[in-house]
Amino acid sequence: MSTPIPKSHKRVVAIAKRAPLELHTVPTKAPEANEVLVRVSYAASSPLNLHVADGNLLGGLPNVGWNGAFAGSVAALGPETQTGLKIGDPVFGFTWRDNKEKSGQEYLTAPETMMGRIPDGADERAYATVPDSFVTAWHTLRTELGMKLPWPKPDGWKPRNVDTPVLVWGASSSVGWFALPLLKWAGYTNVVATAGMKHHERLKQLGATKAFDYRDGDVVEKLRDAAGPPGFRYFVDCIGSLEGSVRPIAQIAGPGSTIAIMLPVIVRTATETVEPIYSMDVKDPEIHVDWKDGSNPVGVRTHFYTKDEFAANNLQPVVMPALLQSGDIEPASYRIMEGKDMLERAEKALSLFRSGAVSGERLIWSTS
């Protein structure tokens, strides 16, 4: 039975650059055709929230309601929904396009194709770690790098170039956590990772064949040796730090390689006292990256994943729950942000990102 749709609810709002967040009361939007009203339980903060709050990335301020991943339950269904969701079903998803869709609020209203069902009894907080990062990893591999990720995958299917060398730089990041097992699921067998040492064993379980510490002064030489004469064909830069990942990768990436870089390129990292500087162009002459002739750097914008009709209709409602169910991917580790209200919890997450204290985990907070 449907619960009455509330007249209004609270959401987190970033008003101006590096200004304190605010909590606004806004009208709750009833779901229209193919839409679902979700009572959000948990929202996941991501570095994108920091890029917008501190750097006004892409003119994203004021940012009403945050954007990113959520877990919650179906409060109401609009007409003509087709995915089989029912009132009360637990759901998780990644939404961002409109204020009513965003996850940092008590209720969100979004298309049913932008969420999947959580199995009964599963930890919804763990499921909130998945959607934005999983969608990014899939979109990066399949669309930006043009790798084969068939769905459904026929039994025994393997890519033609199974042992082509792939480098996942920053594999302990949220995106790396899903890129590695997706590559393993797709059959790629020569996947090298960089991450802090403490994550290496875990990353090998997830699918890395070798792991190197990105802080090691010899990391570029070690990675060249690990790739051998063909060199890496595919690169996933999960970090996009100008000095910390982009420049070292440019030294390794040879002709014929494609390098997918998570945007923005971080020219200067935000801290409590310093404003960030970003670039949205991986070939920006102002940042002077010395890409070798014949290498192909591309900037990743996950928000474009819906341009692929298959992904738009199936990635979140079908593929993501199925890969979790089969155990081919698993939720990331998470840390719960405590605080008296959403505002305090969302601020805590921003502060942890500013202090660089997030390692191999998602920051999750309750919207109650």
Ligand X SMILES: NC(=O)c1ccc[n+]([C@@H]2O[C@H](COP(=O)([O-])OP(=O)(O)OC[C@H]3O[C@@H](n4cnc5c(N)ncnc54)[C@H](OP(=O)(O)O)[C@@H]3O)[C@@H](O)[C@H]2O)c1
Q: Is 239 in the site for ligand X (CB under 6 A)?
A: yes
Interface with ligand X (CB under 6 A), residue from 153, 202, 210, 301: 301
One-letter amino acid for residue 108 of the chain: L
Residue numbers 122-161 binding ligand X by CB under 6 A:
136
What distance in Å separates the CA atoms of residue 175 and residue 14, rounded to the nearest whole number? 24
Q: Is 262 in the site for ligand X (CB under 6 A)?
A: yes
Residue numbers 41-100 binding ligand X by CB under 6 A:
46-48, 51
Distances (CA, A) of 264 to 102, 242, 252: 20, 10, 21
Q: Which is nearer to ligand X, 76 or 183 (CB)?
A: 183
Interface with ligand X (CB under 6 A), residue from 245, 257, 279, 367: 245
Binding mask 263-282 for ligand X (x = CB under 6 A): x--x----------------
Residue 47, preceding peptide bond in cis (omega within 30° of 0): no
Q: Which alpha helices (H) appear in 171-232, and where do they start and end?
A: 174-186, 200-206, 219-227
Q: Which is nearer to ligand X, 31 or 104 (CB)?
A: 104
Q: Is 212 in the site for ligand X (CB under 6 A)?
A: no
Q: Is 240 in the site for ligand X (CB under 6 A)?
A: yes
Interface with ligand X (CB under 6 A), residue from 41, 174, 306, 367: 174
Stretch that binds ligand X, among 93-101, 179-187, 195-203, 321-329 (CB under 6 A): 195-203
What distance in Å separates the CA atoms of residue 285 and residue 282, rounded to the nearest whole number? 9
Q: How near is the Cβ of 238 to ligand X at its closest, in Å? A: 5
**Token pair for 73:** 């339950």
Interface with ligand X (CB under 6 A), residue from 62, 78, 159, 244: 244
Contact at 8 Å (CB) between 202 and 349?
no
Interface with ligand X (CB under 6 A), residue from 196, 231, 254, 339: 196
DSSP helix/strand/coil, 251:
helix
Phi, then psi, of 181 in degrees rounded to 5: -65, -30
Q: Which is nearer to ligand X, 61 or 239 (CB)?
A: 239
Q: Across the strands, what pairs with 260?
A: 236, 298
Q: Is 113 in the site for ligand X (CB under 6 A)?
A: no
Interface with ligand X (CB under 6 A), residue from 61, 114, 192, 195: 195
Q: Which long-range contacts (CB under 8 A, 24 or more apart) does 274-277 make?
A: 275/17, 275/18, 275/54, 275/55, 276/50, 276/51, 276/54, 276/55, 277/55
Residue numbers 317-356 binding ligand X by CB under 6 A:
none
Interface with ligand X (CB under 6 A), residue from 67, 83, 129, 241: 241
Q: Which is nearer to ligand X, 26 or 219 (CB)?
A: 219
Q: Which is nearer to ligand X, 89 or 144 (CB)?
A: 144
The strand ranges marked E within 49-89 are 63-64, 68-77
Residue 27, preceding peptide bond in cis (omega within 30° of 0): no
Q: Which is nearer to ligand X, 36 or 319 (CB)?
A: 319
What distance in Å separates the CA atoms of residue 85 and residue 93, rounded to the nearest whole number? 13
The Cβ of residue 12 has, within 10 Å, a number of other Cβ atoms equal to 27
Q: How near is the Cβ of 241 to ligand X at its closest, in Å? A: 5
By CB under 6 A, name the binding residues for ligand X: 46-48, 51, 136, 169-170, 172-175, 194-196, 199, 214, 238-241, 244-245, 262-263, 266, 300-302, 358-360
